[in-house]
Amino acid sequence: MFGFNFGKLGQIKDRIENIKRRLEVLKVEAASEDGLVKVVLNGHHEVDNLYLSETLHQRPTIEVSSLIAATINEAARNLRLQIQQIIEEELGDVLPSMPGLDIKGLLSLN
């Protein structure tokens, strides 16, 4: 109907399992420009590690919280890009070519 080979469903299922395995071990790090804040996110968008420099206590609280938030947001952007790349690597050659099908949009990666 859409030019999709339904025989590929098993291959797609296997590739999705590969994606899940890769996300289990995925880690993405981001650091503030001054290096005072570092964050590591895992493939489930959870914070695995948060490093705060000892010198942060000398800065105003609002500045520290903004620095932490900006660093976490940068890590989240980097993570979305990594996940997008993994999905494209795993499914790029087996996804159907259907007009209007936007896998990235479906996965909220845009």
- Given a contact cutoff of 8 angstroms between Cβ atoms, the answer to whether 38 and 51 are in contact is yes
- Given a contact cutoff of 8 angstroms between Cβ atoms, the answer to whether 94 and 11 are in contact is yes
User: Using one digit for the tens of pLDDT, what is the confidence trace for 63-80?
Assistant: 999 999 999 999 999 999
Q: Which residues contact 78 (CB under 8 A, 6 or more apart)?
A: 28, 30
Residue (of 77, 80, 79, 73) closest to 32 by Cα position: 73
Neighbouring-strand partners of residue 37: 52
User: Using one digit for the tens of pLDDT, what is the confidence trace for 19-47?
Assistant: 999 999 999 999 999 999 999 999 999 99
User: Max CA-CA distance within the chain?
Assistant: 64
Domain ranges of the chain: 31-94
Which CATH number does the domain 31-94 belong to among 3.30.70.20, 3.30.1310.10, 3.40.50.300, 3.10.450.50? 3.30.1310.10
Report yes or no on whether pTM surpasses 0.85: no
